[in-house]
Structure 1
Amino acid sequence: MNLRRNSNLSHGRSWAELPREVIMVIFLKLGAIEVLRAAGSVCRSWRRVAKEEPELWRRIDMTNHGYGSDAFVLMRPTRRAIDRSKGRLEEFSIEYFGDDKLLQYLCKRTSILKKLCLISCYQVSQKAIARTARRQPLLEEIQITFGDFEEGMTEMVGRECPQLKTFKFNNTWYSLPNLGPGGDDEEVEDDEEAFGIAKTMHQLRHLQLIGNRVTNKGLKAILDGCPHLETLDLRRSRNVKMDADMQARCARLKTIRLPEDSLDDYDFEADADDRQDEINFWYSGAAIQML
């Protein structure tokens, strides 16, 4: 439906006459980018709501809008959305774009963030995430899916967010050749991230580690270090072996998704080619020129 062309409702009332509450419902259903690009400019009253209602911008979701150069154009409208929240922003999600300066901009305009979601944000550094976590004392949920980080990432996040309740740290190791030091096709094991979680995230309730290299040793450390853990997602973390001992340790959990369980609600395989294109973009001259 073209809102600008259809300026009148079927019963003769104009779009401008809709109550503010109804306009708010429409905007919330459309999402941030749709309001910024189109709906917020339908008429004067709609524009006023889009600019003057900070409640509309408590949750900013800039995901599922393309990748590479297509996503990078969202930087400016994302800053505009942050401004419109007037310090009331609680949930912030971005995908395929963003950098350290954007997170710094975010922290200057809100300090009550409860959820931070970064998907394929290769230009966001580990230090920037640490600074953001340090300046957002109410953070309860962090999702980091795909990225280029050094060792100690999970320990750093847990140290800065001692009250963290939900942590999602996903990767694609399962879909890559699992080559050992000599180039042999063997399982590569790495419990560094698991030990960081166990050491610092003692209040954790929900943990997702899709495509992780964690082993039974690391998982045992998590279960011991996170006594309040309720749900655990280990899909495609193929180094975990659910033997009798591990099954007994996981019995206290309300929900567990095993390494071989389906990814029907998050189709990594379907995105494999796009993911490689995306990685190539961010590490090419094209990405540097756009910064």
Structure 2
Amino acid sequence: MLIPKVLTKLRAQVPLVHNITNVVVTNFTANGLLAIGASPVMAYAKEEVADMATVANALVLNIGTLTAENVESMIIAGKAANLANTPVILDPVGAGATRYRTESVHRIMKEVEITLLRGNAAEVANVAGIKAKMRGVDSVSEHNNSEIALEAAKLLQVPVVITGEKDIVAVNEKLSIVHNGHQMLTKVTGTGCLLSSILGAFIAVEEDVFLASTAGLVTYGVAAERAFEKTKEEGPGSFQIELLNQLMKIKEEDIKKWMKVESIRG
């Protein structure tokens, strides 16, 4: 069984994940990466991002709190990562909510080769030009997420992960559905952003993006389920802290026991 072994590989290699992310989630993202076994770095200045992206094992671009300067830094870092064969994960937070966000994502994708696009259904649909609706940065799409993922991956020629009640991985014509996770993740700001960075860590150590993404989603989802079980009488504050604990504690045997993956294609 390949999925649980990717976590062991990650912890053995301790990948350096360069994050250009939003101000809301920086601390939580760094702690989450440390907990899972990766090494985080947050570097935003355009004077250094190329150097950092070159030495990193993965680059994660997150447009949650978007500025023109950050977009420039993302493109500089992305181009350097491409030259160094460093995988680039793009989280198009709120794409479709405003014209500026959508145009910024399209510009990044035009100038940078993206290894994985990770977002909710409406974000991914808007990036791909599939009709969807947004409310702020939250998804209110009613489309079938599997169909959106497959169509977006085809239109954009980029592997796609759509997260929601079920998490979808679409790479070329391959599709998997991960049923792990818990609704409490939606009550804590930054859990999706952290997931994008954790997917970056998994992709850094496993070149099969389909396997790496599925393994990252399963690992994160199982950790969330275990965190909720520990804190279900308390609330989102305790859940957030326990999620970090469970990301550190989770092992191969836990993934084998609790994983719920449906392979539709591939």
TM-score range, shorter chain: 0.3 to 0.5
Tell me the TM-score normalised to structure 1 length.
0.35
Q: Which has the higher strand share?
A: 2
Tell me the TM-score normalised to structure 2 length.
0.38
Q: Which has the higher helix share?
A: 2
Select the structure with the greater relative contact order (CA < 8 A; seq sep ≥ 6): 2
- Structure number with bigger Rg: 1
